[in-house]
Amino acid sequence: MANSLKESAVNNYFETSLLTYDGPRKRLLEGLKDLGIPVYNPSGTYFMIADFSKFIPLAEACLKNLYPSENTDYLICRWLTVTYKVTAIPCSAFYSQESQLVPSSLIRFCFAKSAEMIDEALLRLQPLKSL
């Protein structure tokens, strides 16, 4: 691990990664904002967290009967995958089952993707703008 960190400093890995993913990060950030989805601008990861709370009723109406004990953020992610063919990661996956602080409407999108893939996902999500 120590050697890896040393090599990353020598090769400017972190600086290069920031530059490499800055365009995709901005593209996804602006695209989600344009859809009216509150999004948190990350500063040190390949993931961006979006608040899908306004879509909870739609996700629950679509899938709650099939997955009655599933966390809301899982339902939202399933709903996005089934309805729009765009997959996100439920934030509650990173919390213990005993946690009282589990977010119910926050989901993660990865932006370590090509511009074409991000554009396609945003195009598929366009119907959300009118909901």
50-86 confidence digits (pLDDT tens):
999 999 999 999 999 999 999 999 999 999 999 999 9
**Per-residue 3-state assignment (H helix, E strand, C coil) for 93-128:** HHCCCCCCCCCCCEEEEECCCCHHHHHHHHHHCHHH
Strands (E), 26-105: 39-40, 47-51, 89-90
Q: Is the pLDDT of residue 22 over 70?
A: yes
Structural domains of the chain ordered from first start:
21-130 (3.90.1150.10)
Backbone angles phi, psi at 23, to 5 degrees: -65, -50
Which among 131, 48, 24 is positioned nearest to 83, based on CA atoms?
131
